[in-house]
Amino acid sequence: MYTGEYMSRIRDIDIIEVGDISKGENSSPWSSTIIVLRLTTSDGVVGYGEAPTTLMTKPVMEEAREIARILKGKDPTDIERNSLEVYKHSFYMPESMETTSAFSAFEIASWDIMGKIYGMPVYKMLGGMLNESIQGYANGWYSDCVSADSFAKKAKEVSKAGFKAMKFDPFGNAYDVIDKKHIEHAADVVGAVKDATKGADVLIECHGRFNANAAISIARALEGLKPAFIEEPVHPDNIVGLKRLRDTTNIPIALGERVMNKNLFLPYLVDDLIDILQPDITNARGILEGKKIASMAESFGAEVAFHNAFGPIQTAATLNIDVTIPNFFMQESFEHFWPDWKKKVVKSGYKLEDGAYTISGKPGLGIEINERILEEYKVDGMEPFNPDEPPWVVKGTWKAAK
């Protein structure tokens, strides 16, 4: 408990790759490993952070070691100062996801430490509780789904688990361009999921893989099915193409998992290209930047649905922001579809029941880490690679429409 001026410094930095490379993930190959950061202060306070991997595990690990050289010995509670210090030394930080991902783990762990020092949860330090229950939307549920019937069957199971919204990619192996058969198949899948779930919100995942003409054709075909949003409908660097799509559809547009700070989000808001922002606090500089992005979105009347596709430390950190923001939309949730090792990384700290999250309210991130799992599942290597299926798709869905 904080009793006076805090003079402790970052003493020990442990960067741990955790996963099961031999078996991978149940549904999301990009998340077969996670990077856990454990910071220990000179007076023994321990904080945890997490960095994403997504076919960049080794580069992120190396960047974390570089950031450790910058931040070791620094006061972990000086979060804004430490962020600027890393920015100063890391020449490519604004555009390097490896650097921002590594730094995000340090930033999240620093909030965990600060909360433990002051004896309060992170959300209290961000303005306090506003949203006591956080509605989740299911993702990762549709592994090996190809036909409309297979999507509908699994969607029913997701709905029975309490989720009132679910996200999925119905486009098979279409990439950049899309033909009539794939568009018709996607519409059949979306319609089948809506019918099977009797009113659940459907969220359409495009994985940022289409050119503008393809995205426009997709939106025209799906608009009558009233999806709650369409995510990353065009390649992430095709801003002009996104504007062309925006001018032709009324479907709300969501994006942001590859946008790495508030400054890079600003043009999307100024040009009215986006309805729902999806920053990922494990690659967009952490909790404070996530809160700033949400506040900026609020000024433009936009909502926030944080991207959350990796591990439980990320989830706990994200929930601590979710509960504080007035423009919260929904929270992405993979928990039900994780492998067992990942479910056990965090012993306690938040609950997911009937498709909604609640958090513990304990100091810091509010979680208890299972150190035995960190040790038992410690690995050294890159995520599995499958030349026949891109790593960003849900497993078993990269198939041609029939």
DSSP codes of every residue in 257-289: TT--SHHHHHHHHHTT--SEE---TTTTT-HHH
CB 281 within 8 A of CB 321: yes
Calculate Rg over the CA atoms of the chain.
Answer: 20
DSSP annotation of 93? G
Per the structure block, which two tokens stand in for 64? 């974390």
Q: How far apart are CA 258 and CA 247, in angstroms?
A: 23
3-state class (DSSP) for residue 218:
helix
Q: How far apart are CA 222 and CA 263, in angstroms?
A: 32
User: Over the range 96-116, which residues count as b (16 or more CB within 10 Å of their CB) and which as e?
Assistant: bbbbbbbbbbbbbbbbbbbbb
Q: How far apart are CA 32 and CA 19, in angstroms?
A: 6
Would you state the torsion angle of the CA atoms of residues 362, 18, 158, 278, taken in this order, to the nearest 10 degrees?
A: 70
User: Residue 367 class from Cβ within 10 Å (0-12 exposed, 13-18 middle, 19+ buried)?
Assistant: buried
Q: How far apart are CA 262 and CA 348, in angstroms?
A: 31
Catalytic residues: 207, 307
Angle (CA) 337-340-344 rounded to 5° is: 110
Q: How far apart are CA 277 and CA 297, in angstroms?
A: 7
DSSP annotation of 209? -
